[in-house]
Structure 1
């Protein structure tokens, strides 16, 4: 096993522990200092609050790192399949640790936090990212996938605003809803054509053939599954924003 692979697995374990610690110890204290409403929430809501704090932290760290790699990592951009995966593997390791932490959390609080779509998303991502960590393949495509995390802070902010009692017809909630819908569309839906154009441009090349059938299936299969999930979530977000706008307009008219 290469040193970079060993380090990657160590980062996975460290990421898992760090996110669990943030959920259990850091987020409750930080939330109490930032919002007096946190202490009045039932324990079920507090657990989801802390979970979304961890989710936001992970999204900011990984999303910004993804942009840096996309803009400045020439080796990965020059050869999306076999380019030097060092920085991408570090980012993927952090995400795998988070996904394992979140799966454990979903199982632990399944009655209140459980969501079969999230479980499918996490398992598909872990399956694909496992090849990136173990074999260092497909760094560009793995990094491109992680750009979708940039929409997560807006999704979580919507929940936080609802939890502290902001009216859904208020301009703050509507502005965040619009930002959430636009960013989600840009980083998860609008990029689909460019992503698969890159896939098509490398399909059948010697670099592609070197991957082997197992990696090829792990690349294409989870990608298609994630597209379906993103379409479902995009529909839900759009429908929710449309309903919020309609309620706001009807109240003003009344």
Structure 2
């Protein structure tokens, strides 16, 4: 009886607070921050979740420097977010009726839902947490390009979350997080001294293909989609209009530059195998 009462109370809280329109942005951001905290530190530094798992499966984890251990754990947090946002982004862009061309529900640039807004809020929480860590340990966790990437992402996602504008394009860009686990795995293998392993080579090939698909080709499709729906984009607020053009364009340039580095690294790895 007591269990049923508590369950009803929990459902009421979720329905009246967490899923109430005015509170969605705030609760979703807090959820994102909380998830990052839970993944990065479960109980204390000695029981860090990703660190504990790393100790079980990578015996030399304790021999890493404090900065390396911190980055190791930070990338574990990054993987969790990447998997979450990739699944949600693919769902909204390709499977949800919310942004379907056949679904007559107003202008596509203004379509949003409680779930789509909440998901963006979780990402705002993650990027805020990760950016804070980058600044705190700068430049150990990433240089200027990471700072620019995170600030651009935060601006675009926050605006889309708070206004409900351009969420489709935000999710198209967020699909690029598909490549994050591969990037992190490459760092793990390098740190573990496995640069000459088959896993490192396979990871490089997969990264090349994934990067080409979601950070080059998909961005071209995004720009084409904006072109087809330019009249709808024009009806957005001037800030949203600028974000739709400036942020993806800046990220696309960075993606091409990074893609060149990936291609160069893959060629170098393949040359050593011959």
TM-score > 0.5, shorter chain as reference: yes
1:192 shift after superposition? 2.3
- What residue is the counterpart of 1:252 in the other structure? none
TM-score of the pair, normalised by structure 1: 0.91
Corresponding position of 1:144: 172
Q: How many residues align?
A: 245
Q: In the alignment, is the contact (CA less than 8 A) between 1:11 and 1:90 conserved in 2?
A: yes
For the pair shown, the structure with the greater C-alpha radius of gyration is: 2
Alignment of 1:219-234 (within 5 A): 219-234=244-259
Deviation at 1:90, TM superposition (A): 2.1
Q: Which residue of 1 aligns with 2:50?
A: 27
Contact 2:92-2:98 at 8 Å conserved across structures: no
Q: What is the distance in 2 between the residues matched to 1:180 and 1:111? A: 24
Q: Which residue of 2 aligns with 1:93?
A: 121
Secondary structure of the equivalent of 2:131?
helix
Is structure 2 residue 185 aligned with structure 1 residue 157? Answer: yes
Write the distance in 2 (CA, Å) between the matches of 1:12 and 1:185: 31
Deviation at 1:85, TM superposition (A): 3.5
- Give TM-score scaled by structure 2 length: 0.84
Q: 1:69 aligned to 65, 86, 92, which one?
A: 92
Q: Does 1:55 align with 2:72?
A: no
User: Does residue 189 in structure 1 map to residue 206 in structure 2?
Assistant: no
Output the CA distance in 1 between the equivalents of 2:22 and 2:180.
28
* Contact 1:85–1:137 (CA under 8 A) maintained in structure 2: no
Q: Deviation of residue 5 (structure 1)? A: 4.9
Answering whether residue 134 of structure 2 is matched by residue 106 of structure 1, we say yes
Q: In the alignment, what sits opposite 1:15?
A: 32
Residue 21 of structure 2 is matched in structure 1 by 4
Gaps of 5+ in 2: 1-18, 42-47, 102-106
In structure 2, relative to structure 1, the CA distance for the partners of 1:20 and 1:115 (3 Å cut) is farther
**Aligned-CA RMSD value:** 1.7
Q: What's the counterpart of residue 12 of structure 2?
A: none
Equivalent of 1:215, from 233, 240, 243?
240
Question: Which of structures 1 and 2 has the larger relative contact order (alpha carbons within 8 angstroms, sep 6+)?
Answer: 1
Gaps of 5+ in 1: 250-254
